Chains A and B, each alone.
Chain A
């Protein structure tokens, strides 16, 4: 089984190379990309099942023993992230092919998309801090290209700030790596976990804060999120869905991994993270309320929900981390679904402005249904998966007597419902307030291609499956949290190859 571990990185990279060779034949590119991503889904599911049954799987790239070589490790957290991310990447690609916009216009789309997939997988399976940097860069460089693919003025403008901010975060990551290596003499995460307790507490806290800042930029934490609602909406439709669903969550994954594995409890920034989580939730949702553009609204909304995940982590209890893991999985699927639906709305009405669109319930009831399920789920209404996630987090907060953050999270939940209701009443009810929009909605051009609707339906169906299987998924999240709170086992398996 261990031979499977590198495949989610290698297969998309090979696919990307083949796609470059087949640059002139779009059909060949599509077959290659779909095959590579399907293979990722299969491999991830096999890994997920095996890891959940037999414990974590480790392989050393090139056969060099742990602290020397590059460690690739899949534990429960990495396995579940791999499964969800590979499923989302596959269906968003199907959607992009159906949409035919950037995907059919640019030969670069398919190869770059596969590099993005490889970068995301590599971030999850790496057991080496420097390799995490490389994986991040792979993912980010691919995202720069995808974000600016059309070369429109808006894309160039937001692309500049996005690239520069990511570059600064990467520079800080290098700085953090240099300091950590100078202090401990290793960048292997398992070996680092053994050495950080030997450092003085000041140095340890410094490293912990530095890594939170670096990953916080990527995750979109307050006050480092400002680039996110500016740049995501300008990306091509399908790409925004992947960015929104996956990229921020890779940052969250890195925060969860580094805080639980690398640092002993006294260097874990519980209180700081709680404050940051609360502010992230409130600022994000207030930003969302103010917007007029559907995609910007949902982009602010991502920020707000990152706060929930960090809230769960910041408790550093079994229930808290389990809630955070559940919430990450739920949010990836639901947010991707919402953005795909926004793409449908845009296709159907030719605009995504609340002030212009209206009355989609009558002209395209299918889109309204597809929006309703994930919207209710993200607002946290029972029985949807968002309710289970929020219920778990609030329960964990009450258990730890963190009353303020519990109150904040409930308030933000209410505001989230308000945001969703505002979208619903403006976009789906009422009348279109713009003649152009109205004409498009009634004409043949406003008919959404079936591949796009089908791909969106699949993702929405997955979000409903999360609701049906919430019980097993939550107990899985609890097992994951138990693993994360006992990092000794991770260290033991990586360094000495057995538990």
Chain B
């Protein structure tokens, strides 16, 4: 059981990391979600072997599964849920502004790096980001 959970956890982390490296916020969001699930499963397995539900009087105390990681996992699920909802709202806002949810680079950085005409830099970096996102979409 633990091996299976550990394996599942590894798969979630791996796929989550892959999704995080994409350009589009919608994919990054899925990546964050997957990684969050991986972390929560890890938290759940940290309590050791599963057992009876830990309610006093229903089973001998020695058979109880550890309730603390369950409580911790529940808290972290709620928090991840809230933040994911916020990110979705942000993605929607971004879509309303630019009709896209590509995560853009910091233009000021490039501007400082080259001290060039800033409008041109903005255009070029937007263009490159869109192309990268389109490439990823084709995959």
Query: Are B72's CB and A167's CB within 8 A?
Result: no
Q: Would A178 and B87 count as touching, CB distance under 8 A?
A: no
- Tell me how far the C-beta of A205 lies from the nearest C-beta in chain B, rounded to whole angstroms: 19
How close is A231's CB to chain B, nearest CB, in angstroms? 9
B97 adjacent to A174 (CB under 8 Å): no
The docked-state distance in angstroms from the alpha carbon of A160 to that of B20 is 12
Q: Is B108 in contact with A293, judged by CB distance below 8 angstroms?
A: yes
Cβ of A239 to closest chain B Cβ, rounded Å: 16
- Asked if A104 is an interface residue, CB under 8 A from chain B, the answer is no
A260 at the interface (CB under 8 A from B): no
What CA separation (Å) do A171 and B76 show in the bound complex? 9
How many interface residues does B have (CB within 8 Å)?
38
Contact A156:B93 (CB < 8 A) given known A141-B83, A168-B35: yes
Contact of A292 with B by CB under 8 A: yes
Q: How far, in Å, is A186 (CB) from chain B's closest CB?
A: 9
* Residues of the B chain whose Cβ atoms lie less than 8 Å from the Cβ of A292: 112
Docked Cα-Cα span, A163 to B47, in Å, equals 29
Instruction: Tell me the complex Cα distance, A181–B109, Å.
Output: 41
A174 to B39, CA, bound (A): 6
By secondary structure, the A interface counts as helix
User: Within 8 Å of chain B (Cβ to Cβ): is A151?
Assistant: yes
Closest to B86 in A: A144
Contact with B along A133-168 (1 / 0, CB 8 A): 110010001001100100101001111110110011
Q: Which residues of B contact A171 (CB under 8 A)?
A: 32, 35-36, 38-39
A168 touches B32 (CB 8 A): yes
Give the chain B neighbours of A170 by CB distance below 8 A.
Answer: 79, 83
Contact status B28-A164, CB under 8 Å? yes
List of B residues within 8 angstroms of A178 by Cβ: 39, 42-43, 45-46, 69
| B103 touches A (CB below 8 Å) | yes
Nearest-Cβ distance from residue B117 to partner chain A, whole angstroms: 14
A174 to B28: give the CA distance in the assembly, Å.
19
Which of B25, B38, B86, B106 sits near A141, CB closer than 8 Å? B86
B61 within 8 A of A: no
Contact A163 B109 (CB under 8 A): no
Give chain B nearest CB distance to A116 CB in angstroms.
15
Q: How far is the CA of A182 from the CA of B49 in the complex (A)?
A: 11
| The residue from A148, A158, A172, A174 contacting B106, defined by CB atoms under 8 A apart | A158
* Cβ A181 vs Cβ B46 within 8 A: yes
Please determine whether A296 and B35 come into contact, CB atoms closer than 8 angstroms. Answer: no
**B43 x A174 contact (CB < 8 A):** yes
B40 touches A160 (CB 8 A): no
Contact string against A for B residues 16-52, beta-carbon threshold 8 Å, 1 for contact and 0 otherwise: 0000100001001000100110111011011110000
Give Cα A161 to B107, complex, Å. Answer: 13
Interface assignment of B15: CB less than 8 Å from any CB of chain A = no
Q: Does A290 contact B (CB under 8 A)?
A: yes
Cβ of B90 under 8 Å from chain A = yes
With a cutoff of 8 Å between Cβ atoms, the chain A residues found around residue B48 in the complex are: 182
State the CA gap A290–B113 with chains docked (Å). 8
Q: Decide if A174 touches B76 in the complex (CB within 8 Å).
A: yes
Contact B42 A175 (CB under 8 A): yes
- Judge whether B58 is part of the interface by a CB distance below 8 angstroms: no
CB-CB < 8 A to A177: which residues of B?
A: 43, 72
B46 A151 Cβ-Cβ under 8 A: no
A195-248: which have CB < 8 Å to B? 230
Judge whether B104 is part of the interface by a CB distance below 8 angstroms.
Answer: yes
Q: Is the CB of A167 within 8 A of B98?
A: no
Chain B: minimal CB distance from A197 (Å): 20
Not counting A168-B32, A182-B46, A293-B108, a sample of 8 additional A-B residue pairs whose C-beta atoms are within 8 angstroms of each other reads A130-B72, A130-B75, A158-B106, A160-B91, A167-B83, A171-B32, A182-B45, A230-B108
Which residues of chain B have a CB within 8 Å of any CB of chain A?
A: 20, 25, 28, 32, 35-36, 38-40, 42-43, 45-48, 68-69, 72, 75-76, 79-80, 82-83, 86-87, 90-91, 93-94, 97-98, 103-104, 106, 108-109, 112
**Could you pull out 16 A-B pairs where Cβ atoms are within 8 angstroms?**
A141-B79, A158-B106, A160-B25, A160-B87, A161-B103, A163-B83, A168-B32, A170-B79, A171-B39, A178-B69, A179-B42, A182-B46, A182-B47, A187-B68, A187-B72, A291-B112
